[in-house]
Amino acid sequence: MAVLSEEQEMLRNMARDWATKESPVAEFRKVRAAGQPQAYNAYAYAAMAEMGWAGIIIPEAHGGSDFGFLSAGLVVEELGKTLTASPLVATTIAASAILLGGSDEQKAKWLPRLASGETVATLAVEEGTHCDTSAIETSVSGGKLTGKKAFVHEAHGASLFVVAAKDGLYLVEKGDGVSLTTRKLTDQRSHADIQFAGAAAEKLEGGGDSLLGDVLDRARVLSAAEMLGMAQAVFDTTLDYLKQRVQFNQVLATFQALQHRMADLFADLTQMRSAVEAGLQAVDSGFGVARAATIAKAEANRVLHAISNQGIQLHGGIGMTDEFNVGFYLKRARVLEASWGSSSYLKDRFARLSGY
Amino acid sequence: MAVLSEEQEMLRNMARDWATKESPVAEFRKVRAAGQPQAYNAYAYAAMAEMGWAGIIIPEAHGGSDFGFLSAGLVVEELGKTLTASPLVATTIAASAILLGGSDEQKAKWLPRLASGETVATLAVEEGTHCDTSAIETSVSGGKLTGKKAFVHEAHGASLFVVAAKDGLYLVEKGDGVSLTTRKLTDQRSHADIQFAGAAAEKLEGGGDSLLGDVLDRARVLSAAEMLGMAQAVFDTTLDYLKQRVQFNQVLATFQALQHRMADLFADLTQMRSAVEAGLQAVDSGFGVARAATIAKAEANRVLHAISNQGIQLHGGIGMTDEFNVGFYLKRARVLEASWGSSSYLKDRFARLSGY
Amino acid sequence: MATQLESDDQTSEDAFRTEVRQFLATNFPDELRCTGNMLAGLDGPTDENPVQKKWREAVGGRGWGTPTWPKEYGGGGLTKGQTRIIEHEFAKVGAYNPIGGMGVMMFGPTLLEYGDERQKLEHIPPICRGEIRWCQGYSEPNAGSDLANLQTFAVDKGDHYLVNGQKTWTSGGQWADKCFAIVRTDRSDKHKGISFMLIDMDAPGVEVRPITMISGTSPFCETFFTDVKVPKENLVGKEGQGWTIGKRLLQHERTNISGGGRLAGMMGQSLGDIAKKYCETGGDGALVNKVLRDKIADLEIRWNSFLLTARRAVEESKAQGGVSEISSVLKKVGTKLAQDRSELLIEIRGFQGLGWEGDEFGDDELEDVRGWLFGKAATIYGGSTEVQNNIIAKRVLGMLDHQ
Amino acid sequence: MATQLESDDQTSEDAFRTEVRQFLATNFPDELRCTGNMLAGLDGPTDENPVQKKWREAVGGRGWGTPTWPKEYGGGGLTKGQTRIIEHEFAKVGAYNPIGGMGVMMFGPTLLEYGDERQKLEHIPPICRGEIRWCQGYSEPNAGSDLANLQTFAVDKGDHYLVNGQKTWTSGGQWADKCFAIVRTDRSDKHKGISFMLIDMDAPGVEVRPITMISGTSPFCETFFTDVKVPKENLVGKEGQGWTIGKRLLQHERTNISGGGRLAGMMGQSLGDIAKKYCETGGDGALVNKVLRDKIADLEIRWNSFLLTARRAVEESKAQGGVSEISSVLKKVGTKLAQDRSELLIEIRGFQGLGWEGDEFGDDELEDVRGWLFGKAATIYGGSTEVQNNIIAKRVLGMLDHQ
């Protein structure tokens, strides 16, 4: 655990407290059962915004607390532990885009609404099945944006889209020329393909050429934080299970083969935490963001992949049942692993950043 | 273990018997201590030839037994178990080249000498540090071969070289225009760079365009057979050690973490044996040789790599000492892994053969 | 002489091949070509249309669905050679074997080995005709890998047993007619106190609750036995012999889970070919993403040596008789490779390979996602990988017990 | 107020930085720039030329080789901040720290914690000056990972002990002046029967035999003690306290083996840059072999998170005081990564990366090969990875003992 400021300690404890009490995995089950396309509980998100979580990276001038990404990551991690379904990450990513590239007018118009939770926003980049920023076809002419975006997170709840076009990022409000096709993935959360047919678009003029890359790096560290919470939760649940489950007249936790496997996973989890926290801190400091964010997401992918699989294996039969939670983490894990860059995409990026 | 014919059973038992009695690892230590560049015991190789091992793939008409590659592999595997230093594999590979590409005259001239052990031969293909058949610069004009070959196995003992030139394979006898530079590798065996400066060369006209590839496939299965013997020996020694070594008042073999690791290695070894034997059999049958040989060597690389490392780890401190044999297997393993195609080279080849 | 025999075999084989071809020509309906589900091994719902029914009866009538089983019990009574011919000819016209399920894979072979004449005559023929579905009553909530720790108890009531207890992971329990179960008849001995008996699923006191898996499917049930009467003639072998019989049956399961047609089928299509549909290829037709290509080749190479190992296991079993030691390796390796393949498939397809439902996803894509999730069970059931490792270490490698 | 303090720190730090720069300007000879061996951590032969000697005496005299150790014992008595300044300024001019070895890494810190005043005054100053070399007398032929199983026995002879037995893996034994050893003073209790004492390597009855490793080097020895007299004042702590003291010392070793400068040094040059020397690069300067490139990136990413973890461990230790729990993870992860790196280096260089000797191989290539082989010991000594896993599972994760 990184060394935290007092505010951060408080924030994390508040988030942990709320997630465990108000938003345990049972809440996600309700969301799933309700089967609404937006796939989150509006009241829950309102409560989060109420606590200021939607504005953590937003300047006070715009209604946020300006605590920064490490702080946002602490909250996201706690919510990840209980698989809390919400557009918090998506909206925070969108907010970071407006912060980096928006004009004063755009900031003044949108950031307060995002911070208050009034507006849900999300980033739309991918156009195919894999993360590939080089293949963007979406284009804008005369303030009208046209193109197709694929598998957009939280698309149903969002009323504002930050859309990547050939020549930069644009703000598009839900409305005329914006049509969604639901894409239900294993995580049972909100994903959709979005058809933009000449939708009114306003460019984010700031942020320079690296804007998209910078925003994606922020998406990476925030997703990595959610993944960290998920990995921690699976690890903890599994450890508890091994300590109480008896087989061959022995508590499972006493089998050395399982002890050593857990030791490996613990080492992986430790590595993951170091990488993810450093990624969040890098965004706050502004130094070596690209590299740190790449490492953070790559490690998050590697470790959560392993832990989500071992979580099932070590739980044995019951881990295979829908009645048990561990499977939900597996089904969310792969979606996040594929988001904002798969492992091989990130390793390629790391090599490029390292000059080989 | 593949189902063997009676001759093959006898052959394997004879080889096992000889290797254990006449050529234990202690013999390799003597060879290493002697420090001769040829790095094998001439008497030992004479004895092998005497037993017919140098002619196993050579037709009876040319003084061989024509038992085929599976039979040759059985002998090579047994010799691999005790790290017997000899030019048997190199000479057999060279013989296969002459068999596939040689004229009747060339066969009549060389095969009997190879079978009798009178002549030691070897294949010279690589020109760089990695296996890369596409980058051959060596050329021939007016029957004179010019070029540089790198890290040629058994170069010091060989008096005949099968050399890959741009336009095919050539036979070159040691003599004028052939100069060696010793390249001592970790395995303490014979390796040398060879400078051919207009050396008299005779082309192997037969075998078609695929000749070099076909010969390399034979080199792959034979090396894989040696690697199989090495992996089996390391596995067996390690298992024995775990059964007698006591730590924390417990025999190591009773620690579940080590039991499961050995189970993994046993599974790997089983996979390796299946692949290697199938590779040898494919050469004998003539069907799907390229694919089978690629699989055989790729699996040999993967498994021997793992077992040679675990052999050291599971032996603990003593495995690190030169006094103990297990280190020799590690140091020979990497050389063979790099020979005739590294793992990534072989996987690339497999993908190409599979049409992706 | 040997050659003489061979040529005889040759002629008889040719004759048989012709027979099979004629059979297929007359009985196999075109509309069933290349249908038949991958998971035939796993008992699914009993919905069967008339055409499928007709095909099942045709094959079952000949006993060709269980070709090597004795004729007197409704099997084909055929040689391995003839069996290969059937498989080959069926495959050529895209015909599937309609006779499957646990009865064929596990219970049949075991009953043929341990059952008495009357039991064989009663239970084997319907299996050969695919009329009766069997389920497995083994696992219990508090006995996962530690199977012998089972508590379901059968009290001896003279002419019958009275069974009480709970089983779980009863595959296909909701569709099964009968259940082969291991139950406790003696609490004084963990292993020798177990007996193997056959229970009617429609007997009073049998209750079944489907279990929903992470894949969304419910192939397994919890099965509750409350004062269920089981006639003595449904005891297989002797009282207390259940552990031996039950374990023998698991060996069949293992071979089926790993080497079995199901897995071979799953691996049917080359990942490379699939990848070429989803990922860019270069002028040479090779995948542009060399890292992904390397991973695919790596998996397929290991898969190939697995198939070679499976073949070797069969040869060894034939040579030495009985199930080969390698079978524990097969289960361990085969299930792991199948899981690796599913994961790689997701990597190949990206988000398109993570679909839960919806028309934008192909049936193959959705099926593979469910297969990926359900496949996580392969390293858990039928003797978990951990149990396989214990078996290999102790029985095969002779490493002493750690307790 | 806080800010006031900070600015004070600032000024004093600047002053100190100037002092260090002046020291370097006067004392660090140009010819030693960027020399100093990677394996400084491991005691090597004692050959030292006059220039090196002069540099050692200059640094040792100031106590800057052991900057945080108390001044009264010859240390620098400096703050962590000042230490960082020294490291930074030394690095800038390519100066190495000539004070190293086991005395600095392991024995010194332990003696400072457990030794009595007289012992500290006698032994610490020469370590700070780099005059005395220490070796570790821990392992024995029949006590590998099970260290406490040691048999070397010390009989109480009133004013001294009479020590008999054999130690192995005594690193640098052939070059060491003194040995800190754990020996048995009581056979009735495995752990409480162990004492920690200091033995002169030139005392009568001490015999040393170098062990040749698979790397061809001999950094370790077998050490034989035959009726060796050890004065009572060389007992550290109390009789029977040896296990506690000895284990504490190992924690320092672990941190050094993993987080330590040696490993960081080993990882110094980017594998990517090395690969570009051996393998083809494209127009964009990227490696053409994408599979190899992916492997390199994978390793370097994991290596980066390891460095981040090491930093986190330090912060945690500072925060909570004492060695952090993460230290067992560091040893396990760091050593594994170092081994993976060596293997990858071989893959990058091909045959050129497998040289044993000869002018056709570069010194770096040969050194890396020896390092690859010797590095196999990193997961074995200083508490094997298996032992680390036991420690993590039991102490950190609270999983019960399996025995």
- Measured in Å, how far apart are chain C's first and last C-alpha atoms? 57
Most confidently predicted of A56-65, B132-141, D74-83: A56-65
- Is residue C392 included in any domain, yes or no? yes
Q: What is the pLDDT along chain B (356 residues), one digit of tens a residue?
A: 777 889 999 999 999 999 999 999 999 999 999 999 999 999 999 999 999 999 999 999 999 999 999 999 999 999 999 999 999 999 999 999 999 999 999 999 999 999 999 999 999 999 998 878 888 999 999 999 999 999 999 999 999 999 999 999 999 999 999 999 999 999 999 999 999 999 999 999 999 999 999 999 999 999 999 999 999 999 999 999 999 998 888 899 999 999 999 999 999 999 999 999 999 999 999 999 999 999 999 999 999 999 999 999 999 989 999 999 999 999 999 999 999 999 999 999 999 999 99
Mean pLDDT of A78-96: 98
- Is residue D117 included in any domain, yes or no? no
CA–CA distance, C381 with C389 (Å, rounded to integer)? 14
| Pure H helices in C28-79 | 50-62
Model pLDDT, residue C254: 62
Could you tell me if C150 and C186 lie in one domain? yes
CA–CA distance, A273 with A232 (Å, rounded to integer)? 9
- Is residue D114 included in any domain, yes or no? no
- Amino acid residing at A154: E
Q: Tokens representing B241? A: 């050690």
Query: Which DSSP string corresponds to B31-47?
Result: HHHHT-TT-S-HHHHHH
What does residue A194 show for φ and ψ, rounded to 5 degrees? -120, 125
Chain C positions contacting chain D at CB under 8 Å are: 290-291, 294, 402
**pLDDT tens track for D272-312:** 999 999 999 998 999 999 999 999 999 999 999 999 998 88
CA–CA distance, A162 with A204 (Å, rounded to integer)? 9
**pLDDT tens track for D197-233:** 999 999 999 999 999 999 998 888 999 999 999 999 9
Catalytic residue numbers of C read 253
Does residue D327 register a pLDDT over 60?
yes
What does residue C372 show for φ and ψ, rounded to 5 degrees? -60, -45
How close B25 comes to chain D (CA, Å)? 15
> What sign does the CA torsion over B248, B250, B253, B258 have?
negative
Could you tell me if D384 and D273 lie in one domain? yes
Binary contact (D400, A275; C-beta < 8 A): no
Model pLDDT, residue B92: 98
Q: Which residues of D touch B331 (CB under 8 A)?
A: 214, 373
Which residues span the domain enclosing C180?
134-239
Could you tell me if D79 and D140 lie in one domain? no
CA proximity to D280, closest of A348, B134, B298: B134
Model pLDDT, residue D6: 55
Q: What's the CATH number where D315 sits?
A: 1.20.140.10
CA–CA distance, B74 with B338 (Å, rounded to integer)? 22
Could you tell me if C265 and C234 lie in one domain? no
Q: Is D141 left (phi over 0), alpha (psi -120 to 50) or beta?
A: alpha
Last residue of a domain, one of C85, C100, C115: C100
- Is residue C164 included in any domain, yes or no? yes
Model pLDDT, residue A5: 87
Q: What's the CATH number where D62 sits?
A: 1.10.540.10
Could you say which residues from 283 to 342 on chain C have a Cβ atom under 8 Å away from some Cβ of chain B? 285-287, 290, 293-294, 296-298, 300-302, 304-306, 308-309, 311-312, 315-316, 319, 326, 329, 332-333
Could you tell me if D390 and D281 lie in one domain? yes
* Structural contact between residues A294 and A220, judged by C-beta atoms closer than 8 angstroms: yes
CA quadruple B35, B39, B43, B45: dihedral, nearest 10:
170
Mean pLDDT of A99-111: 98
- Is residue D139 included in any domain, yes or no? yes
Mean pLDDT of D129-136: 92
Question: Tell me, what's the ipTM?
Answer: 0.90
Task: Please state which of the ranges A257-271, D52-66, D263-277 shows the lowest mean pLDDT.
Answer: D263-277
CA quadruple C373, C376, C377, C379: dihedral, nearest 10:
170
Does residue D4 register a pLDDT over 60?
no
How close C396 comes to chain B (CA, Å)? 9
Model pLDDT, residue B61: 97
Mean pLDDT of D127-142: 91
**Domains, chain B, with CATH or none:** 6-116 (1.10.540.10), 121-203 (2.40.110.10), 211-353 (1.20.140.10)
Could you tell me if C187 and C309 lie in one domain? no
Q: Which residues of C touch B260 (CB under 8 A)?
A: 386, 389-390, 393
Ranges under pLDDT 50 in chain C: 1-3, 5, 37-43, 257-266, 402-403
Last residue of a domain, one of D208, D239, D270: D239
* Structural contact between residues B226 and B90, judged by C-beta atoms closer than 8 angstroms: no
**pLDDT tens track for A227-236:** 999 999 999 9
Model pLDDT, residue C36: 61
CA–CA distance, B262 with C12 (Å, rounded to integer)? 47
Binary contact (C351, A191; C-beta < 8 A): yes
Binary contact (B253, C270; C-beta < 8 A): no
Specify the DSSP class assigned to residue C282: -
CA–CA distance, D209 with D216 (Å, rounded to integer)? 15
Mean pLDDT of A42-52: 97
Q: Which residues contact C105 (CB under 8 A, 6 or more apart)?
A: C41, C252, C253, C256, C260
Model pLDDT, residue C142: 79
Tell me the C-alpha to C-alpha distance, in Å, between residue A254 and each of A102, B209, C147: 57, 61, 19
CA–CA distance, A155 with A189 (Å, rounded to integer)? 10
Could you tell me if C280 and C211 lie in one domain? no
Could you tell me if C199 and C304 lie in one domain? no
Indicate the average pLDDT of chain D.
Answer: 87
Chain A interface includes B260 (CB < 8 A): yes
Largest CA distance in chain B: 74
The β-bridge relationship of strands B160-165 and B184-185 is unpaired
Model pLDDT, residue D49: 84
- Residues of chain D above pLDDT 70, percent: 89
Give all strands (DSSP E) within C350-399, no chain letters.
355-357
- Amino acid residing at D155: V
CA–CA distance, C50 with D320 (Å, rounded to integer)? 74
Query: Which DSSP string corresponds to D225-258?
Result: EEEEEEEGGGEESSTT-HHHHHHHHHHHHHHHHH
Of the pLDDT bands very low, low, confident and very high (cuts 50, 70, 90), residue D260 is: very low
Q: Tokens 């040999």 identify what position?
A: B300
Chain D interface includes A310 (CB < 8 A): no
Model pLDDT, residue B41: 96
Instruction: Count other C-beta atoms under 10 Å from residue C238's C-beta.
Output: 12
The count of CB pairs under 8 A between chains A and B is 10
Mean pLDDT of A34-49: 96
Q: What's the CATH number where C202 sits?
A: 2.40.110.10
Of the pLDDT bands very low, low, confident and very high (cuts 50, 70, 90), residue D13 is: confident
Which of D286, D301, D332 is facing A298, going by the closest CB pair?
A: D301
Model pLDDT, residue B47: 97
Last residue of a domain, one of C58, C77, C100: C100
CA–CA distance, A243 with A249 (Å, rounded to integer)? 13
Model pLDDT, residue C39: 39
Could you tell me if D175 and D226 lie in one domain? yes
Total count of domains within chain D: 3
- Is residue D267 included in any domain, yes or no? yes
Could you say which residues from 35 to 64 on chain A have a Cβ atom under 8 Å away from some Cβ of chain C? none
CA–CA distance, C257 with C330 (Å, rounded to integer)? 9
Q: Which residues contact A83 (CB under 8 A, 6 or more apart)?
A: A25, A28, A230, A233, A325, A328, A329, A332
Model pLDDT, residue C262: 43
> What sign does the CA torsion over B106, B108, B111, B114 have?
negative
Of the pLDDT bands very low, low, confident and very high (cuts 50, 70, 90), residue D7 is: low
b (16+ CB within 10 A) / e for C321-350: eebbbbbbbbbbbbbbbbbebbbbbbbbbb
Specify the DSSP class assigned to residue D219: -
Could you tell me if D229 and D269 lie in one domain? no
Mean pLDDT of D97-108: 89
Chain C interface includes B298 (CB < 8 A): yes
Binary contact (C211, A188; C-beta < 8 A): no
Could you tell me if D269 and D390 lie in one domain? yes
- Is residue D184 included in any domain, yes or no? yes
Chain D interface includes B191 (CB < 8 A): yes
Query: Which DSSP string corresponds to C154-201?
Result: EEE-SSEEEEEEEEEEEETTTT-SEEEEEEES-SS-TTTTEEEEEEET
- Is residue D361 included in any domain, yes or no? yes
Could you tell me if D278 and D227 lie in one domain? no
**pLDDT tens track for C95-131:** 888 898 889 988 999 999 999 999 999 999 999 999 9
